[in-house]
Amino acid sequence: MHTADAVETIQREMTVFARRARAAAGRMHPELSLVSYTLLGHLEESGGCRATDLAVHYALDKSTVSRQVAGLERAGLIERRPDAADQRVQVLHLTGAGRHILAQVTESRRAAFRERLADWPAQDLSRFADYLVRYNASPGPGRQD
Amino acid sequence: MHTADAVETIQREMTVFARRARAAAGRMHPELSLVSYTLLGHLEESGGCRATDLAVHYALDKSTVSRQVAGLERAGLIERRPDAADQRVQVLHLTGAGRHILAQVTESRRAAFRERLADWPAQDLSRFADYLVRYNASPGPGRQD
DNA sequence: TTCCATGGTTGCACAGCCCAACCACCTGCC
DNA sequence: GGCAGGTGGTTGGGCTGTGCAACCATGGAA
């Protein structure tokens, strides 16, 4: 495959994937949208952070994050803790329930991916993962984090 | 990288990508949403098809496609032609303007991807493209096409 | 001819998003 | 101290994309 074709293909396939991912996530886990899942995952990974951090990391408007966070708190999946050093700040943390749901959804997502990738040779899997990381890590439009 | 980790990584990175793609596309091309772009692209590629075909291919509700198509027609980017064999059917075709805009957006998207992938070795590009095709082609949740 | 399937549209509701305006707090400078 | 400008967060308003359900028109088979 020539380089130009490869770039073209990557563009098209990434787009197709993006077009489907949200809907697929919604069908798989009606209880936790793709957005919520992502935010929860980030909280777990970071061990708690501010709403602004989430907004910056995901290139979302702070109002969007604010409403998502409000929803997640209403659902009892996260809690806000005051920051001792700055009264404006609320540090967001997963609750037990949040951690539980996140683990469940992660597991079922993982199972779906595993099934889908079941017949891939290990080396291909590993390379694919590497390429995705490299792609997402590269600077580009829509990447302000 | 172990297989389990690779699967985990692929899941996470694909999700991150999906989270960003729509917004990035919107920022890059306010005149043509990711959805419209995708539909136009499919029309170009297929040389004209029915709304139902689009809906099936992209796992969208037919009402969604109907509205998208209406918008694209209003914008003068596509036209509907009656199907001689079935009076219910409207075959959708790109107009000259549609072809023109699609080419522009494709080119600028291609440029963005190219820049982003500029320092990738050709072999990696080609393998990455191949993996994405393979992934998208595999059956899985959210894939009814 | 009658009945069901299929292609498409419309009404309705909802999620996710952004922008702008706003409040509360922090920080630096006078 | 006190004011100005920056920062974290919320709220109001509006748009797009989406699905579901109900509907209409046409096609096709019993």
Give strand letter and number of the nucleotide nearest B62 (CA to C1'): C8
Identify the residue whose tokens are 């890590």.
Answer: A137
- What are the angstrom distances between the C-alpha of A87 and each of A91, A92, B25? 10, 14, 37
Residues A33/A76, Cβ–Cβ less than 8 Å: no
Any B CB within 8 A of A16 CB: yes
Helix H or strand E segment including A61: none
Cα A111 to the center of its chain, rounded Å: 17
Domain ranges of chain A: 32-137
Total Cβ atoms within 10 A of residue B5: 12
Nearest to A6 by CA among B7, B118, B39, B46: B118
Q: Is A78 exposed, middle or buried (0-12, 13-18, 19+ CB in 10 A)?
A: buried
- For an interface test with B, the pick among A38, A44, A58, A116 (most B C-beta atoms closer than 10 Å) comes out as A116
Predicted structure pTM score:
0.79
Fold of A32-137: Arc Repressor Mutant, subunit A (1.10.10)
Asked if the C-beta of A109 comes within 8 angstroms of chain B's C-beta atoms, the answer is yes
Distance from CA of A44 to the nearest CA of B (A): 13
Least confidently predicted of A10-24, A116-130, B88-102, B123-137: A10-24
Q: Regarding predicted confidence, which is higher, A138 or B39? A: B39
Tell me which CATH code domain B3-118 carries: 1.10.10.10
Could you tell me the distance in Å between the CA of residue A51 and the C1' of nucleotide C20? 19
- Residue by residue, pLDDT tens for chain A (145 residues) are 567 677 767 776 776 777 677 777 777 777 788 889 889 999 998 999 999 999 998 889 999 999 999 999 999 999 999 999 999 999 999 999 999 999 988 888 778 777 877 888 988 988 988 888 888 776 654 343 3
